[in-house]
Structure 1
Amino acid sequence: MKTFNIIQIILVIIVGVSACNDELNVTNPNNQTTYDFGDSKSELEEAVIACYNRIRLEGTFARVGYTLDAVRGDEVWNSSQQWYLEYDNLNSPGTIEIGDLWPWRDFYHVVNRTNFVLSKVDKVDLTEDSYNKIAGQALFLRSLAYYYLATYYQNVPLIIDYSAYSDINTMYASNNTQDEVFDQIEEDLKKAMQMLPSRDEGGEWAQGRATCGAAAGYLARALMFRHKYEEAYEVLKDIIAGKYGHYELTADYGDNFREGPEYENNSESLFEVQFMDYGTGGTVEEWTPINISPEATQGHAIESNYASQEMGSWGDLAGSPWLYNLFKKERCTDGRLDPRLYWTLVTYEEEYNSYTGLKTAAYPDGDPRCNIIYQQEITATPLSNTSQGGISIAKFTNARTNLYKSITNGLHCGINLRLMRYSDVLLRAAECENEINGPTQTAIDYINQVRRRAGLEDLQLSDFPTADHLFEQIANVERPKEFGCENGRGIDLIRWGFFYDEDRLNQLIEHGYYKRDGTASTEELTAETADDSSFKYYYKGHEYFPIYQSTLNANPNLEGNSANKNEDNGPAFREKWTIRPVIELD
């Protein structure tokens, strides 16, 4: 019996030890790492959603990353005369976080997460359809991040292998040339075009996700940045022909800037950043790059920068008087103002009430579903900034939507940001046709599709004797009126070489004239009547944003770009491409 008891005790000890060992090896599902995550279809799909989350940060498209390019252009100026000032004046010293660091940091968050997905997807047993959707979205989002990194910071590290982050020798990467980065962008987008379904094929799945149409649209943009017009034109013609899904202009231009499922992800949208409708998200504003709270507001703060300080916003950015007067120079065929003015700038125009049925006010009535009138309609143009003045910007704000009674500053606005619309496809097709074949009726027809939606008279080929004339119409009339105050104008100015030609730079100075007189000045300004112009302060090389100095200090392999070094990119640009001369249009 004694022997039996001893054996029994030994067995209990063995079982107990074994049980302890098993328990110690159990993975805590709440403390997973990248090493033990991403090994199934469902986990990879979660990881892809996490990639989309990164394009909704302040440094990407929730505020600064979006508006930095707008203020870099000639349609927007820094009405607060602080915060964005160095980026408006194109002379940041490289020590200011909002532009030199935040977009860099947050777009590399996107790169990091997409690289993770791509490092895992080949090791998981997936159907061809699932594989293509997961890998295709990751490729698109990585190329999207690198498109903005390369057009914001010029020559950035190209990291496409997730294992590079585990080795200090490769984690601290050196710069790649802008051409090398764009080569990778093109490669990724071409793959994504073949892998992703169209918006038509994708159905509900495609709502808000990257599709082959989104990849095709951004491929055309990438190709045109390097003046590959023939290649870009073929892609654009395929989009127009419906190869990547059906796209068409919305009947109402304003539907591209409204909130709600009946307007967002519409027939005109190739790709847009998704935000929760106002008041439907949580209450936590996550300004840091963490952005993991289940109670996050999940809105953006573009409205906080763009809207009128009189109406409660921060009043940082204003539309240029040049853009306002560009709209006023041409009437619709029935005599009314171009309706795009209403949706671009918050100006008071008496005729809005007389024959459009649209309210003139910003936030006039609150939510019509509540039948509550919160304030009277305005009878004058509200100030962008109550101290400096300026014209408030309407796009991607609720100034014209009449959804709620006032601005709630911060990450609350729920209007999806349409990063690429079908109208861009049409105007880019016109530009490519003009670059390849000169002014043709085909190019004019593309432009007229966009003009007819606005109710403007058709252009006539006979009015454009040279490619230079038609380019001027596209670059400085059609595109500013269609895309005024949207992200992308600064990138256009770089790809056209406008910073590298004295006449073009003088033209930008004229477009950038503004007054700091505490009024919403809408007069056409000249050197004599303007208080200033952002472009008078431009430092050579600062058409790109400098790489943050602390980032350079931390990475011994990284060098500054042209903005850090104040280097002129003009000679290298002119060696490869032509800058079209300034043409005075009738």
Structure 2
Amino acid sequence: MKLYKISLTLLLGLGTLTSCNDKLELMNPNQQTTGTFGNTADDLQESVVAAYNHIRMEGSYARVGYTIDVCRGDEAWNSSQVWYLPFDDLNESITDEIGSWSWREWYYTVNVCNFVLSRCNSDDTQLSEAMRRIKGQVLFLRGLSYYNLAGYYQNPPLITDYKDYSTLEGLYGANSTFDGVLDQVEKDFQEAITLLPSRDEGGQWAGGRATCGAAAGYYARALMQRHKYSDALAVLKDIIAKKYGTYKLMANYGDNFREGPEYENNAESLFEVQFLDYGSQGTDDEWTPVNTSAYATQGSAIESNFGPGAYGGWADISASPWLYQLFKGERTTAGKLDPRLYWTIGTYESDWEGFEYGNTCYTSKLTAADTVVTNNNNGGLPIAKFTNMRTGLYNKVVTGLHDGINLRMMRYSDVLLRAAECENEVNGPTQQAIDWINQVRERAKLADLKLADFPTADKLFEQIANVERPKEFGCEFGRGFDLLRWGFFYSADRLHQLKEHGTFRRSIHHAKDPVSYSNIANDPELKSSYDSYVQGHEFLPIYQGLLNNNPNLKGNSANDGTDNSVYFSQKGWTIHPVVSLSK
């Protein structure tokens, strides 16, 4: 299902006509107020669509809100060395307004969700089926909003009552805490599970709306952010057991990164952001939520960010050499390259002759002599995911908000690998954990892992965190959230490992060659994103303009340069030491 934009604007206005004896009150349907709108299920359905609309805007998932997390991970780097540079270098300034765009979009979403919830009975047992589904969707979307706000801004204000927007005390609320926000996130997802149907319902529930399966998947994610592994494992096992709908791995990994009804909202997808397919879009690039164009493109700019400069892209983000070499280091049981490399990084490889669309870059056919770099000045390995680089749909990037590929925000493979991680945390390395990992590896035609090769939980964690997850989800949203929950910024050996992974060469030559952090001092072309990491900047700072406008709002660890390792250690959470997988 593609959600067409319905813009919900609540304006104060009331027209009256006066006669000699009577007054007739007329309501302008285009100028309704919170007193006249939202009293029927049909009204609230429009509000639900408005909430979905906000998650596909500039600061949520259409560009910046998605790409910032890709940047702060170790699988990608900022090849333009301009846009996204402070996010990649983890030293974002408090005066950079771009860092507030995600804040803006997610609070727009929260506002709409809170409005709908103010019209819903607090007693779920008294709700009609239609109202249960309405309430379940906005609870999911509010939980999603605060999950992102906490993951980016650490301690944002928690606003859950729509009436708070009518008072300065509510509108200019004070910060909550990381724990306080995630407590609400867990509560919202948990309640949404009980209200929403599964994808097996069919129709809209199999075609883009939030389901109980989506809520369960994100509930497990939220639990894992605070190391509640036992609780998360129980939820993930229920998803695997089909309690919340039927999910399975697609036979072809690439089906998760193509547009069109035969690929999108497929059996592997727990939740994805809906964008209009190329050719059916509007003409207006609608970058901010203040625009209300009826002709919005309703696409994303992810391809513009990832696309090579020589093919019309903005050339902002490249895959890390570490990720490329990780793929090259292990071949399938037939001696071929991991097919996930094809859909992740857009390089020429002899193995791709006759595979899928072949060695293609948009409509160009590549040869062994062709070297496609992301940025025309700084080089970089092009990211193929969520672009049409491989499919040849057009001959160059259509820049702006025209990428029609739905962003798969949670896939069943994530459920399996998270279940394996939780099992390892709770019970140590077990055959069950290995079996879940092997389901994902078997699709890629890789040899099964053996339990005997992983005698400790630390070693199996290393395999999951730095082999299985990067290969399956490389250059997708979520790696930054993983690094936060794993505490990699708070351990000397893990931070050094991030510096190694984040090393890249700023050159249009030798983009595919291995690089080493140890050579940075002697090679001026080398750089590591994590060398410029400023303490506390694993989160984004709260924008100074927001602090100026709200006297109750304080900065977070990125504003103050606070060391968050104290919080992590006081929780008693484990930071796994670096373990060599070659032993």
Q: Do Structure 1 and Structure 2 share a fold, with TM-score over 0.5?
A: yes
Shift of 1:307: 1.2
Partner amino acid for 2:305? N
1:65-122 Cα deviation digits (max 9, x unpaired) = 0010010000010000001000000001211122x21000000011000000101123
Tell me how far 1:292 sits from its aligned partner. Answer: 2.1
- Pairwise mapping of residues 176-325 of structure 1 onto structure 2 (< 5 A)? 176-325=176-325
Q: Which residue in the other structure is 1:359 paired with?
A: 358
Following superposition of structure 1 onto structure 2, how do residues 316-395 of structure 1 map, counting pairs within 5 Å? 316-353=316-353, 355-364=354-363, 375-379=364-368, 380-395=370-385
Whole-Å separation in 2 of the counterparts to 1:281 and 1:124: 41
Task: Give the distance between the partners of 1:235 and 1:512, measured in 2 at CA.
Answer: 33
The one-letter amino acid paired with 1:60 is S
Would the aligned equivalents of 2:116 and 2:138 in 1 still touch at CA under 8 Å?
yes
CA contact (8 A) 1:157 1:176 kept: yes
Q: Deviations over 1:207-244 (max 9, x none)?
A: 10000000000000000000000000000000000000
Secondary structure of the residue that 2:374 maps to in structure 1?
strand
Q: Measure how far apart 1:205 and its partner are.
A: 4.1
Q: Matches of 1:124 and 1:438 in 2, distance apart?
A: 41
Confirm or deny that 1:401 pairs with 2:391: yes
1:527-554: CA deviation from partner (whole Å, max 9, x where unpaired): 2156110000000000000000000111
Quick one: which amino acid aligns to residue 46 of structure 2? E
Q: What TM-score do the two structures reach when normalised by structure 1?
A: 0.93
SS at match of 2:120: helix
Matched, 1:449 2:460: no
Consecutive unaligned residues in structure 2, runs of 5 or more: 1-16
1:18 corresponds to 2:14: no
Q: Which amino acid aligns with 2:403?
A: C
CA distance in 2, matches of 1:173, 1:378: 58
Query: Secondary structure, in 3 states, of the residue corresponding to 2:409?
Result: strand
* 1:1-40 alignment runs, 5 A limit: 16-18=19-21, 21-22=23-24, 25-40=25-40
Question: Which has the higher mean CA deviation after the structures are superposed, 120-129 or 418-427?
Answer: 120-129
The farther-off stretch of 48-57 and 400-409 is 400-409
Cα distance between partner residues in 1 of 2:88 and 2:502: 10
Q: TM-score, normalised by structure 2?
A: 0.94
Once the two structures are superposed, the pairs formed by residues 378-527 of structure 1 within 5 Å of their partners are 378-379=367-368, 380-519=370-509, 521-526=511-516, 527=518
| d(CA) in 2 for partners of 1:433, 1:15 | 72
| Structural mapping, 1:146-165, within 5 Å | 146-165=146-165
Contact 1:381 1:391 (C-alpha < 8 Å) held by counterparts: no
Residues 388 and 519 in structure 1, CA contact (< 8 A), matched pair in contact too: no
Separation in 1, partners of 2:279, 2:510: 31
Q: Which residue of 1 aligns with 2:553?
A: 558
**Partner residue in 1 for 2:574:** 578
In structure 2, the residue corresponding to 1:111 is in which secondary structure?
helix
Quote the Cα distance in structure 2 between the aligned partners of 1:171 and 1:94: 21
Greater mean alpha carbon deviation, residues 505-514 or residues 355-364: 355-364
1:246 maps to a residue whose letter is T
- What are the residue-to-residue correspondences of 1:133-144 with 2, within 5 Å? 133-144=133-144
Question: SS of the counterpart of 1:383?
Answer: coil
Give 5+ residue unaligned stretches, structure 1: 1-13, 365-374
3-state DSSP of counterpart to 2:323: helix
Partner of 1:9: none
CA distance in 2, matches of 1:49, 1:221: 24
Q: Secondary structure at the match of 1:101?
A: helix
Q: What letter corresponds to residue 564 of structure 1 in structure 2?
A: N
Q: Is the Cα contact below 8 Å between 2:206 and 2:265 reproduced in 1?
A: no
- Native 8 Å contact 1:381 1:520 kept in 2: no
- Measured in 2, the distance between the counterparts of 1:127 and 1:571 equals 45
Distance 2:32 2:314 in 1: 40
What are the superposed Cα offsets for residues 285-331 of structure 1, whole Å, 9 maximum, x if unpaired?
A: 11122242110000000001111111110100100000000000000
Larger Rg: 1
Percent identity, please.
Answer: 59
Counterpart CA distance in 1 for 2:35 and 2:478 is 38
- For 1:300 and 1:34, locate their aligned partners in 2 and report how far apart those are by CA, in whole Å: 31
Tell me if the contact between 2:348 and 2:366 (Cα under 8 Å) persists in the aligned partners: no
Residues in 1 aligned to 2:384 and 2:18: alpha-carbon distance in whole angstroms: 71
Query: Structure 1, residues 377-400: CA drift from partner, whole Å, max 9, x if none?
Result: 354231100001000100001111
Q: Distance in 2 between matches of 1:235 and 1:412?
A: 36
1:103-143 deviations in Å (ceiling 9; x for gaps): 00000011000000101123999962111100000000000
Q: Deviations over 1:453-502 (max 9, x none)?
A: 00000000011110000000000000000000000001100100000000
Give the Cα separation in 2 of the matches to 1:111 and 1:231.
26
2:113–2:141 contact (8 Å) kept in structure 1: yes
Give the corresponding residue for 1:7: none
Q: How far off its partner does 1:344 sit?
A: 0.3
SS of residue paired to 2:552: coil
CA contact (8 A) 1:207 1:265 kept: yes
- How many angstroms apart in 1 are the aligned matches of 2:41 and 2:122? 11
- Say yes or no: does 1:546 pair with 2:536: no
Cα distance in 1, alignment partners of residues 183 and 497 from structure 2: 32
How far apart, CA to CA, are the structure 2 residues paired with 1:310 and 1:31? 48
Q: CA, structure 1 residues 16+357, in 2 after alignment: closer, same or farther (shift >3 Å)?
A: closer
Q: Distance in 2 between matches of 1:376 and 1:461?
A: 43
Shift in Å at residue 358 of structure 1?
Answer: 3.1
Letter in 1 for 2:118: S
Alpha-carbon separation, structure 2, partners of 1:382 and 1:347:
7
Q: RMSD between aligned alpha carbons?
A: 1.6
1:41-52 alignment, distance < 5 Å: 41-52=41-52
Q: Distance in 2 between matches of 1:446 and 1:572?
A: 32
The residue type paired with residue 62 of structure 1 is: A
Greater helix proportion: 1
Q: Tell me if the contact between 1:155 and 1:177 (Cα under 8 Å) persists in the aligned partners.
A: yes
